[in-house]
Amino acid sequence: MRSWDEYGVENGEYLDAEPHVIVEQLLSGRSRETGLSLDARHWSVFPLRNGKVVRWRFYGTRDEALEAARLEQ
């Protein structure tokens, strides 16, 4: 986190893809070194086991995240 003057993650849409949770995440920040801004969106896939997250993967689109969750079942 030392690389960032500002950094934030805002969660958007949540999808129940049992046994996964898929979360839209909006990233924002500003690089300490270059001053460049970051504004990005990705979709995180969290497989659950016994109610706990066992892994975290992220994808560029909602469809990619849904397909990955489907393939992991």
Name the 3-class secondary structure at 68: helix
CA distance linking residue 53 with residue 66, whole number of Å: 17
Domains of the chain and CATH, by start: 4-71 (3.10.450.50)
pLDDT band at 72 (very low <50, low <70, confident <90, very high): confident
pLDDT, tens digit, for every residue of 16-70? 999 999 999 999 999 999 999 999 999 999 999 999 999 999 999 999 999 999 9
How far is residue 11's CA from residue 66's CA, in Å, rounded to a whole number? Answer: 17
Tell me the whole-structure pTM to 2 decimals: 0.81
What pLDDT is stored for residue 2 in this prediction? Answer: 81
Q: Give the pLDDT mean for 2-7.
A: 89
Helices (H) and strands (E) in the chain, counts: 1, 5
Longest Cα separation, the chain = 43
